[in-house]
Structure 1
């Protein structure tokens, strides 16, 4: 599943009482959730933008994007900065727990529906010990038009 190396590395995070993972190859960094500036007229799932060392980065509420409601805020809330189809965006999550290494054999294909998240966003499900980790495909979280809108937000703000 990860370009022939035989092992997949995931950044594992919590969102609405579920455990998710994204391929570490798409993750640029993980930061504390602070200083998000709202942008009028942005798509509903876009929370706003942040200034990351002089770069304006759009920030999305991942729970809202996945149809799970709004992500609450706590001291554990983080923003995972990802590269998505040529656009950089931050994804607000409830907390980041670890980097996990998996064999492709540990990953099962996604079922039609898991916890309200459309299978279109899923890469698969991994059983890790006693817990399930839902693998999100970052490249599918945004439609082409949304990626273009995120790139535009980065330029305008």
Structure 2
């Protein structure tokens, strides 16, 4: 997990899910795509939307709405897939839209308190940006910590 001191000066990719803002460190993001045709695969993890063929590579697509147990809105042309580097593979994350790429000043970032109800450690910081609060996500927990999924 990235240390609190690594926030200052780093860039973040900020995206939205159901009007809530979240971010990843930019170096975790490989690329951002428009949503292509997604091939569904029956019988796999419930929050895997399916797979896409990206330049000859099969990339699994995680629906972050399902991952975070949020209602899934209607698809629209602003939806994007954020390709991130997993442990041994690239993985696509389906998001509502990309809001911006930005930096957060250290004085506008706070660590997450321990008494929240969100899945443990999935949000590692909160950043304040223009009257909005952005949850900086722990990519490894988003991708691999699925103990609560039945």
| Superposition TM-score tier, normalisation by shorter sequence | 0.7 to 0.9
Distance 2:126 2:56 in 1: 37
Distance 1:104 1:87 in 2: 31
Residue 100 (1) aligns with residue 102 (2):
yes
Distance 2:60 2:101 in 1: 24
Higher fraction of helix: 1
SS in 1 for 2:36: coil
Tell me, which stretches of 5 or more residues in structure 1 are unaligned?
Answer: 147-157
Structure 1 segment 56-71 matched on structure 2, within 5 A: 56-71=58-73
Q: In the alignment, is the contact (CA less than 8 A) between 1:126 and 1:135 conserved in 2?
A: yes
- TM-score norm. by structure 2 comes to 0.85
Classify 1:124/1:95 alpha carbon distance in 2 versus 1 (closer, same or farther; 3 Å): same
SS in 1 for 2:75: coil
Tell me, which stretches of 5 or more residues in structure 2 are unaligned?
Answer: none
Shift of 1:40: 1.5
Q: 2:24 maps to which residue?
A: 22
SS in 2 for 1:142: helix
- TM-score norm. by structure 1 comes to 0.82
Q: In the alignment, is the contact (CA less than 8 A) between 2:4 and 2:111 conserved in 1?
A: no
Distance 2:6 2:77 in 1: 38
Q: 2:129 maps to which residue?
A: 128
- Which stretch has the larger CA shift, 7-16 or 97-106? 97-106
Deviant stretches of 4+, over 6 Å: none
CA RMSD between the two structures: 2.2
Aligned length: 144
Shift of 1:71: 4.7
